Amino acid sequence: MNTFASRLLAWFDTHGRHDLPWQHPRSAYRVWVSEIMLQQTRAETVIPYFQAFIARFPDVRALADAPVDEVLHLWSGLGYYARARNLHRAARLLVECHGGALPAERGALEALPGIGRSTAAAIVAQACGQPEAILDGNVRRVLARHAGIDGWPGSAAVQRRLWAIAEERVPGLRIADYTQAIMDLGATVCTRSRPACHRCPVAEDCVALADGRVADLPTPRPVRALPVRTRWAALLSVPEGVYLERRAGSGIWGGLYSLPEREEAGELCDWILSRWPGARQVEPPVERIGHVFSHYRLDLRLLCFALPPAGCGIMEGEQAIWYNSRLPTRVGLPAPIERLLIEHGDSDQWREP
């Protein structure tokens, strides 16, 4: 019987993905950017973001020299914005400490912000041909099913078992192709739902298939109800645009521009009227925005105010802008806030009657 790797490589030659934009050319920088974007995001979603990002930032120095607002702007809608902030921080460290080049050693890459073991291994395997194992979400699913590994892959014990299996199966040749092949198998054949086991090149000795447990593996994360967090946000408009504040650099939507928020409606109204005494409350375009994060559900309730034209200045040192959706500033925006601004940017109900 052929080995796991040889069967996978033979399948990859005919059925693998060979036209992904980060494969042409397959440089360390392009692999790095793609791997960060692909974390918890499907390739189909990533491709247009990757192409726009690389067109603007073709190398490490271009990324390092750019303002973080522009990086976040090109990331808007992709989610998990800490990835973009870490990418930018890492680029600046690469320029300062590595001459603008990515190190060819996994350990040195892991020392950079936002690069963990699997991402570092994927970079050196694909760009340098080094025999390193990866363990992203697709690979965890393939290995958990093929080896019949029970338990949630996020637990430390199960992760250790999967890493050991991943390392055992790395071949001595064609490392870059093998790395892409096992990711492709998980993305296109051994999918989370409705896997195409009849097309799988390693189905003949898959434990999950033999035991009728494909649908059960990998073991799902233990279910827990997500708490709901209610916040109040202000939609403050003048003819020139809508008032947006830069959020803190860490946490949810970190570093993006968004509507000012408070825990309570009264607290928000008091702040608005103390800053803009002539503000008048008007009917909001929508009453609330719902958004699901990994650890809670956000119930963002809106208050809409038309501001007097004389009060539209930005205070000195304030991290804020007036955002006009018709002539948008190149800054990062949370996807639900960007949709709100675009969908209702022409509405007269934003303005004082």
Query: What is the number of other CB atoms lying within 10 angstroms of the CB of residue 222?
Result: 8
The secondary structure of 133-191 as a DSSP string is ----HHHHHHHHHHHT--S-TTSHHHHHHHHHHHHHH--SS-HHHHHHHHHHHHHHTS-
**How many Å apart are CA 142 and CA 150, to the nearest integer?**
13
Asked if 165 and 204 count as a contact pair (C-beta separation under 8 A), the reply is no
Helix (H, G, I), strand (E, B) or coil at 118: helix
Distances 76 to 46, 295, 333 between C-alpha atoms, Å: 12, 20, 6
Strands (E), the chain: 228-238, 241-246, 257-258, 261-262, 280-282, 288-292, 297-306, 320-323
Query: What is the number of other CB atoms lying within 10 angstroms of the CB of residue 124?
Result: 25
Q: Of the listed 35, 263, 283, 316, which one is catalytic?
A: 35
> Is 343 an annotated catalytic residue?
no
Active-site residue set: 35
